Structure 1
Amino acid sequence: MNEKYSSLTSVFHDHVRCRPRAVAVVDESRTVSYAELAAASYDVRRSLARLGIRPGDRVGVYMRRSWRVVAAIIAVIDHGCTYVPLDPDYPAARVRFMAEDSGVRAICADPGTPWPFEGTAEIQVTGAEAEPVPSAERAADVPTHIIYTSGSTGTPKGVATPEHAVQELFRSAAERFSFSTADAWSWFHSHCFDFSVWEIWGALLHGGCIVVIGTEVGRDPWRLLDTLADQGVTVLCQVPSMFKYLTAALVDKPRPWPCATSSWAARRSITTPSGRGWTSAPGRAGTSPWSTSTARPRPPSSPPARWSTG
């Protein structure tokens, strides 16, 4: 990520201009280029404008994991707004509370999703494309996103994250890792979990590719290993509760570890079935979406950048 850029979306749009046909997202059988992803985000932005949504407003993203979620997130941030992730699998009362508590003015949704938000404007994110819309100005005090805690110890609380915190995360990571356009990043976690910020923007800021890990694949470590290998994933992001099953599957069915660049685990210390321990140093809660990593040397011949044939 170049230091000259002043915003997350300016970096993304630079990749759109320079490498429009490069693959931005792989979502099962769907391959989405940087140009297609940008065009889908413009369609969402035009809907935001028609509803009178202005920079500084908050917009919900009530969608299941897919490439269209990425388009919606880009659109909301590019509009100078804050996105509030809302999971359709959460109880209706919970997502209504989150929407009301955060003060969202509109909510992006998958077409046909049951609507529990009476009186709140809906923007259906279909993946339709539109002409470019200039990026809006973002005030320094406007967060990029508000993610709610689980509420396991009480009422869920929204945690607002400013844009400079996301930028600093990747500047700090650059001291250890050399991410590039050749990397494919797994997107395993719900957009309601802070780890997703690392997974999504890690790919987009470096011109890489997001590989969407579907729910069913994510629940089956053997299928997940196959997907990582088939899609050439180089950056794997996992929490220990899932990572231990993945490493166990690797022992059960040995194969070359598919993630050539780096693997990440968050929050807790873990030990793999091979006996290798991973030491966790998360610091204060909420300060970082990751805490433990291992770097693996890139193969002598790095995989070429992906290009869309569409």
Structure 2
Amino acid sequence: MRTEAINGVVRFLSEHLTFIVLVIATAFVTSCILLVLNQKDAEDLFRLAQEQIGTNQPRAAADTLRAIEREYPHWKRMAEVYYLQGNILYFHENNLYGAMEFWQRALATDPASPHDFEIHRRLAEIHLNVIGDLPRAEAELKYLIARHPRHADIPHLRLELARCYVKTERPEVAIIELKNLIGTVTDPHTRQQAVIQLAMIYYNQKNYQRAREFLEPVTRAPHCDDCRHLALMVMSDILEIQEDYDKAIEILGQIPDNILSEEKKQARISSIKKQFVPSAPSGGGTR
């Protein structure tokens, strides 16, 4: 009985083999065609979203990207879709948490994303300057420095890392980071920014003479106006504390009004002049 059944199945397969193969092949080809069509539809929508972003239509672009996410959730470029959705929320809707969620999804979908540096940098900036999650900011900065050591912006990120150390009350660690940066960086602007930041740490530690030693070369030969003005602002405070009043007033006079208004400048100068101790009259007499 069992043998007859098996023989019947074999006869059926042999008689209809061509038909069965044809059905399977047709199904396979159909699925491939549908896949190609779906990919094409997703590509068209993605190009449309890019055009909408380029023509300043962020809301329309967001709708288009959501359509891709809804209709083609397994599309090969979903990481790009998530990345653009995050950008729209960040730049156009000021939705930081929503943006970060999409960026994280982009990285999870494509760990080798070409936007890895940009995403982690934005995460570091948001956590450091907006949210105030300093441990997370530090972790993001260290990741960037380790993962992208040759990137042109790494020296700036090392400055940010030092600032993170200062904010978490680890000035000695910041000093080590800044001194290492000063010794290795070739960009003069970054070097002077590091010197100024180092001087400000010494200033906060009340090591005014050490801070002054770092600032004086910057005030004499600044790389740019930003470096010069920042150095002058800190130097004027140090000179006043050290009771070098004439020099403090001279330095204040060099700071442009757009950095320190004339009103505030004159108020500072008046305050300094009140601290002058009049010299005793010569000869011991009185007038």
Q: Determine which structure has more spread, i.e. the larger CA radius of gyration.
A: 2
More strand by share: 1
Asked which structure has the greater RCO (Cα within 8 Å, sep 6+), the reply is: 1
TM-score of the pair, normalised by structure 1: 0.21
TM-score of the pair, normalised by structure 2: 0.22
